[in-house]
């Protein structure tokens, strides 16, 4: 690979140990271990937009693949190094440029951490909605690239519902400006919407304009326990049909609750088959909402409904939900799933997942954003047990197929990355994939932008993709 211009050369990571920390993300290890990346990749930590432009000029001129990277919390191998690539990390572009209460927007760099934008907005009496469970670490650039969802989508939608304009550096170094800073705007095609969710396959997002709303009330939290998952899912349906939808509605099954409590005491009950966490933040009516949700859940068969007495207790319960992922990882290696099904088919999905778990003899704790029909079953197996690893991947395939058979999608919020390419084709069809590839070629004719993600190389995906 030709050397970088001198301003970028100083951004290249030379320490091999440090470099390695940028090679992987939070997705599962490659299904085919022979595809694990060696050391043939370069890591550049950009400090400003000029660095990004210089890298994309260089990459286009040399035909070098580029993997844009934020905080590496991708669950689908979208941000990991690939053979011969430049990993272009943009966490350093972390300025909150503007919080504008009159226009109701924020202008931020892609490296701003989700929780930091929320905090800055809150200081101005405003609110940024998208709330991935990884809020404390994931970046806005990553959120835009994956169209991230999270715990509050039921009421506040996903990242695409908030982002109004972007700066995107394209291969070759040109900067494309999309969208509007105004409350409305319909000039031409919605290229902002195209880039949101494109997983780094079109260009590198370097500036984000996003809506902010007036801050809601502090959320009140109720926790309901159930003797069966079926009863809990009846509760989910009842809450979805309520006139004032919850701002959060999460489920944890018995194994997930046990994993959280083994990790630390987050106030979850010891003995039940499922827990629902539900919140309201409706200004002036949160207490009334949570009381009504409690009645609906009792009517659906809840054993007990407890309302958090104060904000501290409410936050503790939410912390328990947020550490769930780390708690499950302490059980072994894990493939985190992300199927989203119509809410009315959730019970079928959960029953099917239990059958898959039995058939392939791998534990599959179930949890996730029940209010959206978006669950994250986690297929767990012992580190180093190759037989269990292979069974886990077979279980993964069956969960994908099950989700599709119920009218769902294989990717509710994590994206396709390098892990689900085969399943993209299964879901949308080859013709649609070819149309999407053609759109990519308009922005990235040389095919250098994150080529292993979403579509992969031009060859037909195999079962080991």
Ligand X SMILES: Cc1cc2nc3c(=O)[nH]c(=O)nc-3n(C[C@H](O)[C@H](O)[C@H](O)COP(=O)(O)OP(=O)(O)OC[C@H]3O[C@@H](n4cnc5c(N)ncnc54)[C@H](O)[C@@H]3O)c2cc1C
Where do contacts with ligand X occur on this chain (CB under 6 A)?
Answer: 25-26, 67-75, 78-79, 90, 110, 132-134, 138-139, 141-143, 145-146, 148-150, 199-200, 204-205, 325, 413-414, 450, 453
Nearest to 135 by CA among 259, 369, 319, 282: 319
Q: How far is the CB of 186 from ligand X (least distance, A)?
A: 25
Q: How far is the CB of 373 from ligand X (least distance, A)?
A: 14
Q: What are 271-274's contacts with CB under 8 Å, separation 24+?
A: 272/225, 272/226, 272/227, 272/303, 273/226, 273/227, 273/228, 273/229, 273/232, 274/225, 274/226, 274/228, 274/229, 274/231, 274/232
Cα 267 vs. chain centroid, distance in angstroms? 26
**In terms of CB distance, is 75 or 282 closer to ligand X?**
75
Neighbouring CB atoms inside 10 A of 405's CB total 13
**In terms of CB distance, is 207 or 389 closer to ligand X?**
207
Q: What 8-state DSSP symbol labels residue 371?
A: G
Q: Compute the distance between CA of residue 210 and CA of residue 362 in angstroms, rounded to an integer.
A: 41
**In terms of CB distance, is 53 or 302 closer to ligand X?**
53
**In terms of CB distance, is 75 or 234 closer to ligand X?**
75
Q: How far is the CB of 177 from ligand X (least distance, A)?
A: 15
**In terms of CB distance, is 159 or 300 closer to ligand X?**
159
Q: Compute the distance between CA of residue 465 and CA of residue 462 in angstroms, rounded to an integer.
A: 5
Q: Compute the distance between CA of residue 193 and CA of residue 90 in angstroms, rounded to an integer.
A: 21
Q: What residues form DSSP beta bridges with 107?
A: 98, 209
Measured CA to CA in angstroms, residue 81 lies from 53, 73, 201, 303 at distances of 20, 13, 14, 48
Q: How far is the CB of 86 from ligand X (least distance, A)?
A: 12
Using DSSP's 3-state secondary structure scheme, residue 118 falls into helix
Q: How far is the CB of 202 from ligand X (least distance, A)?
A: 8
Q: Compute the distance between CA of residue 185 and CA of residue 382 in angstroms, rounded to an integer.
A: 52
Q: How far is the CB of 85 from ligand X (least distance, A)?
A: 11
Name the phi and psi angles at 126, rounded to 5. Answer: -120, 180
**In terms of CB distance, is 287 or 442 closer to ligand X?**
442
Q: How far is the CB of 126 from ligand X (least distance, A)?
A: 21
**In terms of CB distance, is 296 or 399 closer to ligand X?**
399
Q: How far is the CB of 309 from ligand X (least distance, A)?
A: 26
Based on the number of CB atoms within 10 Å of its own CB, is 211 exposed (0-12), middle (13-18) or buried (19 or more)? middle
**In terms of CB distance, is 147 or 357 closer to ligand X?**
147
Dihedral sign, Cα of residue 19, residue 23, residue 26, residue 29? negative
Q: Compute the distance between CA of residue 394 and CA of residue 391 in angstroms, rounded to an integer.
A: 5
- Which residue's CB comes closest to ligand X? 142
Q: How far is the CB of 355 from ligand X (least distance, A)?
A: 26
**In terms of CB distance, is 132 or 294 closer to ligand X?**
132
């Amino acid at each position: 690979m030709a050397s970088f211009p001198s301003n970028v050369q100083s951004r290249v990571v030379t320490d091999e140990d440090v470099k390695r920390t940028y090679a992987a993300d939070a997705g599962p290890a490659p299904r085919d271990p022979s595809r694990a990346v060696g050391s043939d990749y370069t890591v550049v930590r950009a400090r400003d937009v000029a660095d990004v432009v210089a890298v994309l000029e260089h990459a286009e001129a040399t035909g070098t693949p580029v993997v844009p990277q934020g905080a590496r919390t991708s669950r689908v191998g979208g941000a990991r190094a690939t053979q011969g690539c430049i990993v272009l990390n943009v966490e350093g572009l972390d300025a909150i440029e503007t919080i504008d209460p009159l226009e109701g927007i924020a202008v931020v760099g892609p490296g701003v951490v989700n929780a930091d934008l929320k905090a800055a907005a809150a200081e101005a009496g405003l609110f940024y909605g998208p709330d991935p469970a990884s809020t404390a670490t994931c970046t806005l650039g990553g959120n835009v690239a994956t169209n991230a969802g999270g715990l509050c989508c039921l009421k506040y939608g996903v990242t695409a519902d908030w982002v109004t304009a972007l700066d995107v550096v394209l291969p070759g170094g040109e900067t494309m400006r999309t969208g509007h800073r105004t409350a409305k705007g319909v000039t031409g095609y919605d290229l902002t919407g195209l880039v949101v969710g494109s997983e780094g396959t079109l260009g590198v997002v370097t500036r984000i304009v996003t809506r902010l709303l007036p801050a809601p009330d502090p959320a009140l939290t109720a926790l309901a326990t159930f003797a069966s998952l079926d009863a809990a899912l009846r509760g989910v349906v009842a809450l979805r049909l309520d006139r004032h939808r919850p701002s959060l509605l999460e489920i944890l099954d018995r194994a997930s609750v046990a994993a959280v409590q083994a990790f630390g005491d987050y106030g979850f009950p010891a003995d039940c088959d499922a827990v629902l966490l539900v919140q309201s933040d409706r200004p002036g009516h949160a207490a009334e909402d949570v009381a009504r949700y409690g009645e609906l859940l009792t009517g659906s068969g809840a054993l007990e409904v407890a309302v958090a007495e104060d904000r501290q207790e409410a936050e503790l319960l939410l912390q328990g939900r947020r550490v769930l992922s780390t708690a499950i990882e302490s059980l072994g290696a894990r493939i985190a799933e992300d199927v989203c099904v119509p809410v009315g088919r959730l019970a079928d999905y959960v029953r099917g997942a239990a059958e898959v778990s039995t058939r392939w003899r791998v534990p599959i704790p179930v949890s996730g954003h029940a209010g959206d029909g978006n669950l994250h079953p986690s297929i767990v197996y012992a580190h180093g047990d190759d037989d269990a690893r292979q069974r886990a991947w077979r279980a993964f395939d069956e969960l994908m197929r099950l989700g599709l058979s119920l009218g769902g999608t294989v990717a509710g919020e994590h994206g396709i990355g390098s892990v689900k390419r085969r399943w993209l084709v299964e879901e949308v069809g080859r013709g649609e994939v070819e149309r999407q590839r053609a759109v990519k070629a308009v922005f990235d004719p040389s095919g250098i932008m994150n080529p292993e993600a979403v579509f992969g190389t031009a060859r037909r995906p195999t079962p080991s993709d």
